[in-house]
Amino acid sequence: MSDATVSPAEVSDSGDRDFQIRILPQVSDEEFLKVLTAVKVDPPARGILLPKMKHLNILLKDVECRAANIIKQEMLSLGADAAVARGTVSCSIPATDVILMGTERQIRSFADHVRVQPFGLKSLSEKLERILAGYRATDLVLSTNRREIPFGKRTRIMGIVNVTPDSFSDGGRYLSTQAAIERALELESEGADILDIGGESSRPGSDFVSVEEELKRIVPVIEGLRGKVRVPISVDTLKADVAAAAIEAGAEIINDISAMTFDPKMPSVIAEKRAAVVLMHMRGIPKTMQEGPIVYPDLMGEIIAYLAARIEHARSMGIRPESIVVDPGVGFGKTVRDNLAILRNLSELKIFGRPILTGVSRKSFTGAMTHVEDPAERTEGTAAAVTACILHGSHIVRVHDAGATKRLVSMADAIVREEQR
């Protein structure tokens, strides 16, 4: 955003003035403060005005009508508003969805006001405060069993190493241990911040492999990389025994596409080993996830509810909150339209206050939009999708080509993140 300038208004008895008018976009606190400074707002007033510049629309699902009426009145009393269904005022309907509409300051005041109100509004107040804190969090940290990985200043690149014969894009290319090690080293040299090693394909229609086969594929690779790479190693698996062996071999992150629903032993392994974990949204299993009609009455609502439940389960099993990453599961049980909608609405996942991982590289929806059938040729579609992810809040992008992505990320971060300019 360019610096704002204010020219002294010419005094005119006619009342005719040529006002310059701009609608300011919703940008970072730093950008808003620049505008306030350029307008020469008194420094103590800038902190007061900043929350008033940030408008929020917050959706509350299935609110009991008596609570909804209190919410409506409290929001109106603050100069804000709340949208409710017809019939709410008379309570002729049992419940309604509610949209809170106001500045961040008004929403925070509302949360404070309803803390003492009945009908469950105290819990709403507490949850709103947690969500707002998560949504505004910028300097996040991911704790593994070996290090702390900071996020906020730049987007991290996760390089894919498929030690499989049947992955959709590069199946078979890195099936030998030596080929996989060389590929991992190449990805690190190109700029990958994390290496994600997988021994089982999760492409649509794929079958599970045995624990023994998966271990045979990935453990020698991890052991071969130990001491040769500086970046953390992630393992793409949904099996607890594989995760345990991988962590012992040197892995720090378990990328579980089932969000620890496939193997009930997985949470205990993660907690005991103090590893980090990626929790991803997926319907069904890879073999069947794209079969039949795929319908989401509320796509983002389902993803958020699912991830919230999985985060709560992880915490209840002793997994540290600071060791969790969330992933909306682009391409896993979703249509092309669904995948595009996730990218547009990705910022909704910021409410968790945890790093967001997105995997869009070479996926079929990028081919569908660019009319490119060969996954290896979906370069432009992947670049556009990765850029959209960064612009909408992704902290980690999982890709096949680290070199090109490194250059793309440098440009996207320069646009999004003030620290890069």
Catalytic residue numbers read 363, 398
**Does residue 411 sit in helix, strand or coil?**
helix
Q: Residue 69 and residue 281: Cα distance in Å, rounded? A: 34
Pairing state of beta strands 55-64 and 95-103?
Answer: antiparallel
Compute how many other C-beta atoms are within 10 angstroms of the C-beta atom of residue 336. 15
Compute how many other C-beta atoms are within 10 angstroms of the C-beta atom of residue 288. 12
Q: Residue 39 and residue 92: Cα distance in Å, rounded? A: 50
Gyration radius of the chain's alpha carbons: 24
Compute how many other C-beta atoms are within 10 angstroms of the C-beta atom of residue 93. 13
Burial of 287 (0-12, 13-18, 19+ CB in 10 A): middle
Q: Residue 87 and residue 65: Cα distance in Å, rounded? A: 9
Place of tokens 């612009």: 391
In DSSP terms, 150 is beta-bridged to 141
Q: Residue 333 and residue 81: Cα distance in Å, rounded? A: 36
Place of tokens 């071969």: 224
Q: List the beta strands (DSSP E) in 328-420.
A: 357-359, 396-399
Is the separation of the CB atoms in 254 and 275 below 8 Å?
Answer: yes
Burial 292-328 (b: 16+ CB within 10 A, else e): eeeebeebbeebbebbeebbeebeeeebeeebbbbbb
Q: Is 47 left (phi over 0), alpha (psi -120 to 50) or beta?
A: alpha
Nearest to 2 by CA among 19, 24, 18, 21: 24
